[in-house]
Structure 1
Amino acid sequence: MAFHTLKHGSFLVVLILAIAQTSKAGDPDIISDFLIPTNLTIVDNNFFTYTGFRVLVDADPPTTFKVTKASMAEFPALNGQSVSFAVLQYPSGSVNPPHTHPRSAELLLLLQGSLEVGFVDTANKLYTQTLQVGDMFVFPKGLVHYQYNSDGKDPALAISGFGSANAGTVSVPGTVFATGIDNVILAKSFKTDDATVQKIEAGIAPKA
């Protein structure tokens, strides 16, 4: 299914503004109206405009989970503004693996399909919910969370708002098994053996 939701412009604008207003700022305050990159000589309307989501309109759906970001890296005008967004596309059966955002909470709004979501607090309590279109769910700042489209046929689509121009993403599987931590340490930590650790690492490693 193509990304037809973006055609409903006024509806989407209202939803985005709602997320923006409820996202808690997590970046330092600035003492000017906005921050200009040092390599930029002309500041005009284009500086405050982001067109990176246009590629999603009428595009073929992805075959694996895909996130398209509008953070400070993609949209420099967000620097100092304590807000960013992401469009998340979930094909049938796909998962956004457990991860954290160290600098912001995440406020997710489901626009299409259904999603199973959850996070774990610092007391190791799991909070889960099955979201339907129009539902919102907040993932508290810094806590491990995930999203899963368990539907066997239909894709899901969501928008997430962040109270930081650079919320950061720390993937739990990638951080643990794809950063060079010694296999002996991993095997002891997960009470398993080296062969199992190697099998997990091979599954996480980027495909050549």
Structure 2
Amino acid sequence: MARKIRPDDEDPDIPFSRRWNVLVNALLVESSVKLVARVAMDYANYYDRDNGRVAGGNVYPGNELLARETGLSERSVRTAWAVLRGLDMAERTSTASYDPKTRKRTADEYQLMIPEGWEHLPILGPNSGRFRCVHCECLFNPQGNSSVDSKGRVSFQVHRLCFCPPPRDKGKGEGCFSLWTQARQAAEATSWRDLGGDVWKLFREARDDDW
């Protein structure tokens, strides 16, 4: 059986690009964010140190080019970069500017990174298995989600990662999150909103597969 690669694997024979893709594959975010992260890696330095170049650096394809290559809108590309910055997976090392000599506008330049504490991001386990609903214990595939506020902070609807999706047909009953919430209220237990950081304990319970 092949050895499983971790994003922080210290084996010098494993290039940064492979470790980056392991993290991107596991990350529970929108497909647009994952796509931009993957394509951005095509423009980055692959290895940890190669003739003085830092791995993951020198990424400056520009949002317009990324939009063409990914099939996304430029707005979606900008949002994807905002999510990656908010997760400390990308740092903008220089901003776009206009060069009057060439009459051309340069693109933002990025450094891609494996953040410290990456294990605490909303990610799949090392085996990429399905999650088990905290309420009904049925297996389901978690749907990635993220949002970025005006200060660049990324947040997630964690309950969508802990409970199986509600039925599309409302006539088939309520979803597991609603039923779990009602049961908590009946038991006068702490509500989801008041759990604070403890919601991530439920996330890990639903994942049941730690790195």
Pick the TM interval, shorter chain: under 0.3
Which structure has greater strand proportion? 1
Q: What is the TM-score of this pair, normalised by structure 1?
A: 0.25
Select the structure of larger CA radius of gyration.
2
The answer to which structure has the higher helix fraction is 2
The higher relative CO (CA closer than 8 Å, separation ≥ 6) is in 1
TM-score by length of 2: 0.25
